[in-house]
């Protein structure tokens, strides 16, 4: 009887002690696992194929180029450059990667998520307005904005999976370095995912899926058309002036 009482107490104690432990940490299954494409050169499999450790070199654990900005996509107003398992194969299975983001004044990294990583940013240059949206567990229709103005040397953490943004509020170029607890954090830019899908999403789904009325979307399309038309007119005017 006493024995059963002891075991039950132990089980309840174990349950109580374990249940608040929502934390986790990375735990690689081996010292190194340099990613390779050639399966013949591989020994272990853990996510990517791993290079035989005896053929690993210092260059597998090296990357350069974060001293300069990435190449900006046309109209993006900024550039992102990542060092992840694809360009530093030694990161494989280590649960870490990094990146550099450059933004022109008044430009933004639009609402996005990294489904596999928490992001810790450190400002190197300029002034950022950053924030993430914390869902309200009591009301699916609401969220709380956690935001901050950051100066060089300031850091901010965007918890895994939450929607966040970075905006250059200064009047010169701004740069931050991002650290991720994933070898490939993934980037989902929410407006691009939703409004630029291929094939496009049905109008009504787009409208109701974004809690918008159809006329809002139609007005958005009209505004975009107006911008495109005036840009074309400006282009023609410039071409005329050059003739
Ligand atoms: C694997 O192959 C891809 C595509 O050919 C290449 O871009 C990448 O650098 C290769 N990765 C490694 C670790 O060799
Ligand atoms: C950036 O670093 C690379 C590699 O170390 C070097 O070749 C390049 O000259 C550097 N560029 C600038 C602008 O400092």
Any ligand 2 atom below 6 A from CB of 222: no
pLDDT attached to residue 190: 94
Instruction: State the distance from the centre of ligand 2 to the C-alpha of 81, rounded, in angstroms.
Output: 15
pLDDT band at 207 (very low <50, low <70, confident <90, very high): confident
Q: What CATH code would you report for 63-195?
A: 2.60.120.10
Ligand with the closest atom to the CA of 68: 2
Give how far the C-alpha of residue 227 lies from the chain's centroid of Cα atoms, to the nearest Å: 29
Any ligand 2 atom below 6 A from CB of 68: yes
Ligand with the closest atom to the CA of 100: 2
What mean pLDDT is predicted for residues 79-87? 95
Pocket test for ligand 1, best of 86, 87, 88, 90 (most atoms within 8 A of CB): 86
pLDDT band at 33 (very low <50, low <70, confident <90, very high): confident
**Structural domain boundaries in the chain:** 2-55, 63-195, 203-242
**How much of the chain, in percent, has pLDDT values that exceed 70?**
81
Any ligand 1 atom below 6 A from CB of 37: yes
Task: Say if residues 83 and 63 touch (Cβ distance below 8 Å).
Answer: yes
Q: Where are the alpha helices (DSSP H) in 19-160?
A: none
Which stretches does DSSP call E strand in 78-231? 78-83, 97-103, 108-113, 119-125, 128-135, 143-150, 155-158, 164-168, 174-180, 188-189
* Positions at the binding site: 112, 114, 119, 164
Ligand with the closest atom to the CA of 48: 1
Instruction: State the distance from the centre of ligand 2 to the C-alpha of 67, rounded, in angstroms.
Output: 6
* 12/111: higher pLDDT: 111
| Distance separating alpha carbons of residues 235 and 19, to the nearest angstrom | 63
pLDDT at 7 over 80: no
Q: What does the longest C-alpha to C-alpha distance in the chain come to?
A: 101
Instruction: State the distance from the centre of ligand 1 to the C-alpha of 37, rounded, in angstroms.
Output: 6
Task: Say if residues 18 and 87 touch (Cβ distance below 8 Å).
Answer: no
């Amino acid at each position: 009887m006493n024995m059963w009482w002891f075991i039950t107490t132990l089980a309840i104690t174990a349950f109580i002690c374990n249940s608040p432990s929502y934390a986790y940490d990375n735990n690689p299954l081996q010292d190194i696992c340099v990613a390779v494409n050639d399966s013949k050169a591989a020994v272990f499999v853990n996510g990517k194929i791993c290079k035989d450790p005896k053929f690993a070199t210092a260059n597998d654990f090296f990357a350069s180029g974060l001293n300069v900005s990435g190449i900006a996509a046309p109209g993006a107003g900024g550039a992102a450059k990542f060092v992840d398992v694809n360009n530093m194969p030694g990161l494989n299975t280590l649960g870490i990667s990094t990146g550099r983001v450059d933004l022109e004044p008044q430009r933004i990294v639009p609402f996005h998520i990294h489904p596999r990583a928490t992001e810790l940013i450190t400002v190197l240059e300029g002034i950022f307005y950053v924030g993430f949206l914390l869902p309200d567990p009591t009301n699916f229709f609401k969220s709380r904005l956690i935001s901050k103005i950051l100066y060089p040397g300031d850091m901010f953490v965007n918890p895994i999976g939450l929607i966040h943004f970075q905006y250059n509020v200064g009047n010169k170029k701004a740069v931050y370095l991002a650290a991720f607890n994933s070898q490939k954090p993934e980037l989902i830019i929410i407006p691009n995912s939703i409004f630029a899908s291929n094939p496009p999403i049905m109008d009504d789904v787009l409208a109701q899926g974004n809690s918008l009325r159809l006329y809002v979307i139609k007005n958005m399309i009209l505004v975009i058309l107006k911008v495109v038309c005036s840009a074309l007119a400006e282009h023609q005017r410039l071409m005329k002036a050059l003739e």
